[in-house]
Chain A
Amino acid sequence: MKAKVIVMPKRSVLDPQGVAVRDAIHHHGVSAVKAARVGKFIELELDGTQTEAQLHEICRDLLSNPVMEDYEVLLEK
Chain B
Amino acid sequence: MKAAVIRFPGSNCDQDCMLALREFGVDAEYVWHKETSVAAYDLIVLPGGFSYGDYLRCGAIARFSPVMRSVVEEAAKGKFVLGICNGFQILCEAHLLPGALVRNRSLHFRCEHLFTRVENFTNPWLNTAVTGQLLNIPIAHGEGSYLADPETLIQLNRNRQILLRYCDSHGAVTHAANPNGSLENIAGICNARFNVFGLMPHPERACDPRLGSVDGRVIFESILTRLGVRKAA
Contact = CB atoms under 8 A, between A and B. Distances in A.
B13 to A, nearest CB: 23
A68 B147 contact: yes
B105 interface: yes
Contacts, number: 32
A16 B102 CA distance: 10
A1 interface: no
Contacts of B104: 16
B149 interface: yes
A62 B107 contact: no
Given A14-B181, A16-B106, A17-B103, A67 B64 contact: no
A5 B93 CA distance: 19
Given A13-B102, A17-B107, A20-B107, A67 B147 contact: yes
The DSSP consensus for interface residues of chain B is loop
A69 B93 CA distance: 13
B40 to A, nearest CB: 28
A68 B105 contact: no
Interface in A3-20: 13-14, 16-17, 20
Given A65-B57, A67-B99, A68-B147, 11 more contacts: A13-B102, A13-B147, A16-B103, A16-B106, A40-B56, A62-B60, A63-B56, A67-B92, A67-B100, A67-B147, A68-B102
B148 A67 contact: yes
